[in-house]
Amino acid sequence: MRVYRVTAAAGFACALLLVVNSARRAGFLAETALTHAIAPFAALTGLLAITGIYLLIRGTAGGLGLVGYVLNSAGLAGAFAIEYILHFVFPYLGGGTVSALLAGGTGRAFLVTSVALVLGVLTFSAAAIRSRAMPVAAVVLYAAGMIPGSLRNVMPLPVYLGGLVLAGVGVAWMAARLWSAEEDPVAVARPVRRGVTPTA
């Protein structure tokens, strides 16, 4: 399998995990050892999917695309770390310890991660739309969903969960574009200068 197919598969997995996580938090799915264990991997598979999308758009996304990719990737990597802590560290600590951590440096690190993710999503989405390599509606769904999805501590739960579902739809749509993309990333990424007719 080539890079677009691999990252597209990661995008489909990310979309599924986002929906599963939303259904679990909303009470539509039971909280089991499996649903608990897989929850953090939505961010990790999303990071892989974003990498594939950037490889597809980088030739026409310019510096904005690179900045957006770096910020979005950093935010998703941080989100994976946060989800891992929430699911595999905090449950084994006392409530007072968790509150103290969130009131100090840990809470500030969580906030910085959320801000980086929001900025990355907005920048990367703007670059993806400008590149014309991704369906605009898919990118808009991703951005509209990830903004509340990045701000879980300040958003009402229904808005946060609805955002995750919207983001999942957007990611799946972009993953479908990746799956069908031309297999040669160099050819896809090579920009054609305006006013110049490409030669065979």
197 is a domain residue: no
> Structure tokens of 27?
């009470």
Radius of gyration of the chain (CA): 18
Of 149, 141, 129, 146, the closest CA to residue 173 belongs to: 141
**Which of the pair, 181 or 187, is modelled with greater confidence?**
181
pTM above 0.75, yes or no: yes
Domain presence at residue 21:
yes
Q: Is residue 67 part of a domain?
A: yes
For residue 191, tell me if it sits in a domain.
Answer: no
Mapping DSSP to helix (H, G, I), strand (E, B) and coil, where does residue 170 land?
helix
Question: Taking 90 as the threshold, does the pLDDT of residue 30 lie above it?
Answer: no
Residue 131 lies in a domain: yes
Could you read off the pLDDT of 123-169 as tens digits, one per residue?
Answer: 999 999 999 999 999 999 999 999 999 988 889 999 999 999 999 99
Please check whether residue 192 lies inside any domain of the structure: no
Torsion of CA 106, 107, 113, 114, to 10 degrees: 160
Tell me, yes or no, whether 195 lies in a domain.
no
Task: Tell me, yes or no, whether 7 lies in a domain.
Answer: yes
| Count of domains for the chain | 1
CA 30 to chain centre: 24
pLDDT of residue 17: 96
Return the higher-pLDDT residue of 196 and 69.
Answer: 69
Range of the domain at 9: 3-183
